[in-house]
């Protein structure tokens, strides 16, 4: 059997994608658990020592991370597999995300990664339909602020969780979600983690856990949709007779 150039390239791409997928570390939580039993250092994901993370039917790759102020180094951030209360898969970032009082005016970290439906899910027609953001271990002193703002490359969707005592007003939102206009095979996620400890505070503005999960839906193949329409047309014709 002879392979044309296009078929050879297609086969090569499939084999490459399969090898990359196989190199991902599996952090899928066990049944009944919200987090995986093991974790990977964010620094290992940045260096390429670990290619990415697989959690359930989602793949997480292309991590980047930068900080100013008192935010933790990548080696001090653990990445775990996560499953929310509705059974949606995601990742959980554990670390001392904070700003200490009496230091710089603020501390900030930018965390970016790509989430994709895994190859098996793609073949079955699954696509990412919405995203969910949670914060835990969050606390602030007087006149302080902590927030995680999330955006998605090429999209207008945003999410935000926070806790604030700025101006003497206390308010918080520890969960947020967004629905995408069109279901996605993959999307690049950017988290901006901001902490401001008040000058008169005796405790840091902080959070220790940032959870992220994604829901999905099935997009029927065009041939499947066509067959369903033909079935409806046939059924209508029978009824007319």
87: left (phi over 0), alpha (psi -120 to 50) or beta: left
Q: How confident is the model at residue 121 (pLDDT cuts 50, 70, 90)?
A: very high
Q: List, for residues 15-63, the tens digit of each pLDDT value.
A: 444 444 458 999 999 999 999 999 999 999 999 999 999 999 999 999 9
Average pLDDT of the residues in 66-92: 98
Strand, helix or coil at 48?
coil
188: Cα separation from own chain's centroid = 8
Q: How confident is the model at residue 221 (pLDDT cuts 50, 70, 90)?
A: low
What pLDDT is stored for residue 222 in this prediction? 47
Q: Give the whole-angstrom CA distance, residue 98 versus residue 112.
A: 18
Tokens of 161: 């969780």
In sequence order, the β-bridge partners of residue 93 are 79, 210
Strand, helix or coil at 19?
helix
Strand, helix or coil at 204?
coil
Q: Give the whole-angstrom CA distance, residue 34 versus residue 168.
A: 35
Q: Is the pTM of this model over 0.85?
A: no
Tokens of 45: 């994901």
Q: Give the whole-angstrom CA distance, residue 164 versus residue 170.
A: 6
210, exposed or middle or buried, with CB in 10 Å at 0-12, 13-18, 19+?
Answer: buried
What pLDDT is stored for residue 217 in this prediction? 94
Length of the chain: 241
Instruction: Say which residue, 179 or 223, is predicted with more confidence.
Output: 179
Q: How confident is the model at residue 240 (pLDDT cuts 50, 70, 90)?
A: low
Q: Beta-strand (E) ranges in 165-221?
A: 171-173, 175-184, 186-196, 205-218
Q: If we measure between CA atoms, which residue out of 173, 136, 142 comes closest to residue 158?
A: 173
Q: How confident is the model at residue 176 (pLDDT cuts 50, 70, 90)?
A: very high
109 has pLDDT over 90: yes
Q: How confident is the model at residue 170 (pLDDT cuts 50, 70, 90)?
A: very high
DSSP state at residue 197: -
What pLDDT is stored for residue 11 in this prediction? 42
């Amino acid at each position: 059997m002879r392979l044309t150039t296009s078929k050879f390239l297609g086969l090569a791409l499939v084999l490459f994608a399969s090898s990359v997928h196989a190199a991902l570390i599996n952090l899928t939580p066990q049944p009944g658990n919200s987090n995986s039993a093991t974790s990977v250092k964010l620094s290992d994901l940045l260096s390429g020592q670990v290619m990415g993370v697989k959690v359930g039917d989602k793949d997480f790759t292309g991590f980047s991370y930068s900080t100013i102020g008192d935010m933790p180094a990548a080696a001090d951030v653990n990445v775990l597999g996560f499953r929310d209360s509705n059974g949606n898969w995601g990742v959980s970032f554990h670390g001392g995300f904070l700003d200490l009082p009496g230091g710089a005016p603020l501390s900030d970290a930018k965390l970016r990664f790509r989430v994709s439906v895994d190859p098996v899910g793609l073949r079955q027609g699954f696509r990412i339909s919405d995203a969910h953001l949670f914060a835990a271990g969050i606390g602030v002193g007087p006149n302080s602020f902590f927030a995680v703002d999330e955006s998605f490359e090429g999209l207008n969707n945003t999410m935000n969780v926070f806790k604030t005592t700025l101006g003497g007003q206390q308010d918080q939102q520890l969960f947020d979600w967004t629905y995408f206009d069109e279901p996605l095979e993959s999307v690049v996620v950017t988290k901006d983690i901001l902490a401001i400890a008040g000058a008169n505070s005796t405790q840091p503005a902080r959070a220790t856990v940032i959870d992220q999960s994604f829901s999905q839906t099935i997009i029927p193949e065009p041939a499947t949709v066509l067959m369903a329409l033909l079935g409806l047309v046939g059924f209508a014709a029978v009824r007319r007779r």
